[in-house]
């Protein structure tokens, strides 16, 4: 079933979560071990992230270093098919612009379609680690909006190959990313929202947000979206803080604020266990408030760790 069908049929706020593919060399069982504790809550869908290549420096026999591209977490689409098959739950692969030409994107979409995966999250992707700016592939998409347009065209039966006269239309339900605290490259929220609207106008069916700790930022974001005519469902993304490292890593990496009240509580913590308790309590309050606000679904970033998410879901719904 499509994400938007789950949302439109729901009688109360839904729950979904996101997992990362196992690191290369590990088994898919690692992933299942993270998923299993959350299955009792009956998630409506599970997202699987996409990780493009990273540059690493390998030492050669002559002592010099060679820069090579390595993909450390492959398998997004096959993992989606495996999860769908094992648990009977809808899955949402992430598809990015980075590293793909338009032709390669079309092939990836055809493969998803053959596997019966008709949900996806369309993203641009970040700059490759070690680079400061996003560089598209030759003939690849520069922004997520044109990727969404390509998907919409396939949904109308238009493939890139002009020799295909009567292409069978695909039926993808496309989600896109939204940023309550603006995307880090955007000069201000107004510009960012304008580009978000372009993605929706190109055919996106719903929005999933970047993680945030301050619900007011999300409420303001939804208000601003509605003001400029974005009418699709907006799903808030939540990630609980669980380690001391997260207290600086999450705000810095995702360009989000840490509310003073949360920072004060975290400052009192002496170890990861105490941080996790604060993170879970904060998460429960966030989720309860988001449910009261009428959020259609709450999307949890597990980043490979399910315990904190499990306790939040158990105590919020």
Ligand X SMILES: Cc1cc2nc3c(=O)[nH]c(=O)nc-3n(C[C@H](O)[C@H](O)[C@H](O)COP(=O)(O)OP(=O)(O)OC[C@H]3O[C@@H](n4cnc5c(N)ncnc54)[C@H](O)[C@@H]3O)c2cc1C
Chain residues in the site for ligand X (CB under 6 A): 49-50, 94, 96, 121, 123-126, 143-145, 177, 183, 185-186, 191-192, 195, 199, 208, 210, 237
16 Cβ contact list (under 8 Å, min separation 6):
3, 43, 44, 45, 46, 47, 92, 235, 297, 298, 299, 300
Residue with Cβ nearer ligand X (237 or 296): 237
Residue with Cβ nearer ligand X (209 or 316): 209
Structure-block tokens of residue 307: 């315990």
Residue with Cβ nearer ligand X (246 or 266): 246
Question: What are the beta bridge partners of residue 95?
Answer: 122
156 SS3 class: coil
Shortest reach from residue 59's CB to ligand X, in Å = 28
Residue with Cβ nearer ligand X (41 or 143): 143
Shortest reach from residue 293's CB to ligand X, in Å = 19
Query: How many residues does this entry show for the chain?
Result: 317
For 187-194, which contacts have Cβ atoms below 8 Å and span 24 or more sequence positions? 189/221, 189/224, 193/224, 193/225, 193/228, 193/230, 194/228
Shortest reach from residue 96's CB to ligand X, in Å = 5
Across 71-165, the runs of DSSP E, i.e. the strands, are 90-96, 119-123
Residue with Cβ nearer ligand X (246 or 299): 299
Shortest reach from residue 106's CB to ligand X, in Å = 18
Shortest reach from residue 201's CB to ligand X, in Å = 12
Structure-block tokens of residue 185: 């490259």
* Rounded-to-integer distance, Cα 103 and Cα 161, Å: 9
Shortest reach from residue 226's CB to ligand X, in Å = 19
Residue with Cβ nearer ligand X (35 or 208): 208
* Rounded-to-integer distance, Cα 229 and Cα 227, Å: 6
14 SS3 class: strand
Residue with Cβ nearer ligand X (49 or 118): 49
Shortest reach from residue 212's CB to ligand X, in Å = 10
Structure-block tokens of residue 148: 């969404």
Across the chain, the runs of DSSP E, i.e. the strands, are 14-19, 45-48, 54-59, 65-70, 90-96, 119-123, 173-178, 206-211, 234-238, 297-301
């Amino acid at each position: 079933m499509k994400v938007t069908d789950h949302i439109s049929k729901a009688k109360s706020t839904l729950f979904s979560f996101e997992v990362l593919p196992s690191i290369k060399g590990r088994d898919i069982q690692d992933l299942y071990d993270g998923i299993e504790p959350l299955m009792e809550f009956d998630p409506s869908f599970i997202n699987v992230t996409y990780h493009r290549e990273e540059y690493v420096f390998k030492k050669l026999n002559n002592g010099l270093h060679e820069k090579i591209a390595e993909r450390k977490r492959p398998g997004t689409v096959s993992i989606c098919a495996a999860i769908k098959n094992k648990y009977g739950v809808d899955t949402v692969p992430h598809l990015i612009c980075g590293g793909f030409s338009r032709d390669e994107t079309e092939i990836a979409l055809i493969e998803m379609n053959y596997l019966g995966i008709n949900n996806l999250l369309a993203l641009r992707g970040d700059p490759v680690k070690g680079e400061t700016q996003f560089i598209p592939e030759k003939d690849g998409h520069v922004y997520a909006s044109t990727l969404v347009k390509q998907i919409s065209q396939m949904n109308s039966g238009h493939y890139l190959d002009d020799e295909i006269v009567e292409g069978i239309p695909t039926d993808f339900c496309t989600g896109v990313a939204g940023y309550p605290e603006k995307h880090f490259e955007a000069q201000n929220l107004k510009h960012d929202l304008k580009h978000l609207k372009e993605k929706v106008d190109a055919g996106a069916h719903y929005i999933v947000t970047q993680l945030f700790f301050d619900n007011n930022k999300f409420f303001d974001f939804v208000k601003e979206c509605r003001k400029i005519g974005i009418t699709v469902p907006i799903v808030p993304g939540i990630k609980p803080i669980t380690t001391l490292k997260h207290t600086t890593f999450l705000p810095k990496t995702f360009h989000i604020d840490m509310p003073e009240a949360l920072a004060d509580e975290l400052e009192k913590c002496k170890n990861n266990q105490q941080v996790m308790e604060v993170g879970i309590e904060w998460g429960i309050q966030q989720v309860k408030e988001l449910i009261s606000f009428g959020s259609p679904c709450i999307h949890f970033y597990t980043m490979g760790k399910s315990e904190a998410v499990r306790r939040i879901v158990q105590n919020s719904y």
